[in-house]
């Protein structure tokens, strides 16, 4: 029973995902009952993760275990999924289909929580696919949108290639180790170990939309429904980063070539993401390149390879996911281009102010979560002898202010005349965005207990 208690969040998410498909049939007259049921289930899963504590699951042969990092990631996944589904239940979709959409979101969250606790390479592989497969459908959910279908297809094809690279690299690892458990991993020094690590890293870099495998993200985000971008660009990245941290934790001490590979990917992501975001006028495309840049910041912590670096990377993943999702929910409600947001401060002052707070966090303005996260990341990099990488990261953070402030300028200093009016918006949807802004501030102000809760146990 103790083992089942540890996987209670996964059981709840699975049951809720199935129930959401039939919620509007069971609750007649409530077209969006599935989204509300999903929100409740996600909240219960977060509560179960909080109460379940830490430990291994003996009935599965210790292939699944919860440490501090896993517990934080599972709680965050549940809460962010709950907020997203509350927004969805209040705002709805352009073409309906909330119950199917909700079920896909919950299955993606299920894969993310499984990935957070994986201690076996096979479990990590399977949970990674459970988390990403629903995302393909979410990104192409508007079937009559040719551009969205094209972006979803690009996402699917590149993700499949990334999975193949990841699995191929793991085949070397399992072959050399003679076991699938992470704790039993033994890599032979030399070319084979370096090739295996390169394939694994390439697969995970593509999943995180990090350079040089980021090219799918702008096209996929631009054509996808904005709510899908809000979820896919934020929530799964927390678990994806944690999975990458496990790989670094296991392989980096045995494969010295992994560190320079991560450094190169971090530099490319920060430079390409920040510079390519400048000319964008479509906010989904802008946030796609923003995600590439922030993937680079996360890789700085992984490249450090120290416990402090891994902790800082997971903390920053949370500090990025919350405002990123909040900004995209505002975009989904008030317009998908810079022109749509002109004069938002006049039309919807509260939406403009909370969006500004979240954008400032993404820039790295104190005392918001983004600033504290970057402080931890760059400090860990300097302590690990990567001061020059941290310096480039600081410069790129300053550069990013340019395109984020373009959005702020449009909201506050450009005329609302001719802007698209989206309506006042449901109260619950507005409250969700405010909660995201408050959580962004809380992550920064209360960073010490959160960082203390994050701890990576040995696989």
Q: Give the mean model confidence (pLDDT) for residues 194-207.
A: 90
295-319 pLDDT, tens per residue?
999 999 999 989 999 999 999 999 9
Lowest mean pLDDT among 64-73, 94-103, 132-141: 94-103
How far, CA to CA in Å, does 394 sit from each of 82, 300, 354, 398? Answer: 33, 11, 25, 6
Lowest mean pLDDT among 31-40, 286-295, 418-427: 418-427
392-415 pLDDT, tens per residue?
999 999 999 989 999 999 999 887
User: Where do the structural domains in the chain lie, given as residue ranges?
Assistant: 2-453
- 29 compared with 270, residue with greater pLDDT: 270
54-63 pLDDT, tens per residue?
766 765 777 8
pTM of the model: 0.93
Residue keyed to tokens 């962004």: 440
* Residue 94: per-residue pLDDT: 52
- Flag whether pLDDT at 457 surpasses 80: no
* Residue 7: per-residue pLDDT: 86
* Residue 419: per-residue pLDDT: 46
- Highest mean pLDDT out of 32-46, 142-156, 215-229, 388-402: 388-402
- Flag whether pLDDT at 5 surpasses 80: no
* Residue closest to 61 by CA, chosen among 119, 146, 127, 121: 119
Q: List residues bridging with 120 in a β-sheet.
A: 181
- Flag whether pLDDT at 1 surpasses 60: no
Q: Give the mean model confidence (pLDDT) for residues 344-367.
A: 90
Q: Angle 307-334/235-251 helices, nearest 10 degrees?
A: 160
* Residue 396: per-residue pLDDT: 93
Environment class of 196 (CB within 10 Å of its CB; exposed 0-12, middle 13-18, buried 19+): buried
78-118 pLDDT, tens per residue?
999 999 999 988 876 655 567 788 899 999 999 999 998 88
* Residue 97: per-residue pLDDT: 64
- Flag whether pLDDT at 263 surpasses 50: yes
- Flag whether pLDDT at 436 surpasses 60: yes
Indicate the length of the chain as a whole number.
459
159-196 pLDDT, tens per residue?
888 889 999 999 999 888 888 888 888 887 778 888 99
Are 121 and 186 in contact, with CB atoms under 8 Å apart?
no
Dihedrals φ, ψ of 88, to 5°? Answer: -65, -40
Q: Give the mean model confidence (pLDDT) for residues 324-350.
A: 88
């Amino acid at each position: 029973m103790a083992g089942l208690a540890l996987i209670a969040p996964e059981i709840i998410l699975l049951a809720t995902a199935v129930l959401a498909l039939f919620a509007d049939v069971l609750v007649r007259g409530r077209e969006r009952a599935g989204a509300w049921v999903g929100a409740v289930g996600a909240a219960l899963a977060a509560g179960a993760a909080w109460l379940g504590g830490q430990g291994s699951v003996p009935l599965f042969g210790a292939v699944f275990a919860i440490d501090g990092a896993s517990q934080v990631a599972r709680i965050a996944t549940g809460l962010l999924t709950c907020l997203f589904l509350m927004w969805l239940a209040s705002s709805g979709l352009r073409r309906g289909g909330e119950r199917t959409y909700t079920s896909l979101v919950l299955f993606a969250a299920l894969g993310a929580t499984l990935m957070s606790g994986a201690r076996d390479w096979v479990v990590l592989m399977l949970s990674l696919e459970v988390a990403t497969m629903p995302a393909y459908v979410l990104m192409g959910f508007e079937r009559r949108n040719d551009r969205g279908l094209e972006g979803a297809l690009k996402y699917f094809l590149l993700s499949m290639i990334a999975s193949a690279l990841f699995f191929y690299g793991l085949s070397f690892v399992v072959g050399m180790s003679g076991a699938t458990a992470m704790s039993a991993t033994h890599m032979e020094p030399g070319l084979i170990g370096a090739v295996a690590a390169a394939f694994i890293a390439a697969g995970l870099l593509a999943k995180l939309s990090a350079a040089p495998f980021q090219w799918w993200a702008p096209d996929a985000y631009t054509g996808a429904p904005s709510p899908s971008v809000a979820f896919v660009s934020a929530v799964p990245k927390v678990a994806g980063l944690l999975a990458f941290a496990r790989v670094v934790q296991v392989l980096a001490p045995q494969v010295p070539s992994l560190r320079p590979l991560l450094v190169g990917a971090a530099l490319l992501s920060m430079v390409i993401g920040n510079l390519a975001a400048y000319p964008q006028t479509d906010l989904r495309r802008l946030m796609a390149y923003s995600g590439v840049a922030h993937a680079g910041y996360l890789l700085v912590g992984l490249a450090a390879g120290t416990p402090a670096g891994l902790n800082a990377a997971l903390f920053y993943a949370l500090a990025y996911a919350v405002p990123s999702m909040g900004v995209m929910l505002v975009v989904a409600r008030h317009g998908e281009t810079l022109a749509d947001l002109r004069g938002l401060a006049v039309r919807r002052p509260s939406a403009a102010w909370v969006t500004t707070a979240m954008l400032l966090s993404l820039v790295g303005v104190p005392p918001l979560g983004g600033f504290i996260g970057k402080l931890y990341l760059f400090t860990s990099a300097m302590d690990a002898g990567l001061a020059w990488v941290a310096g480039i990261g600081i410069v790129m953070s300053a550069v990013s202010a340019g395109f984020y402030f373009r959005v702020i300028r449009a909201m506050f200093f450009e005329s609302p005349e001719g802007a698209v009016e989206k309506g006042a918006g449901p109260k619950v949807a507005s409250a969700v965005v405010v909660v995201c802004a408050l959580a962004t501030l809380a992550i920064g102000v209360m960073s010490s207990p959160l960082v203390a809760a994050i701890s990576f146990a040995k696989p």
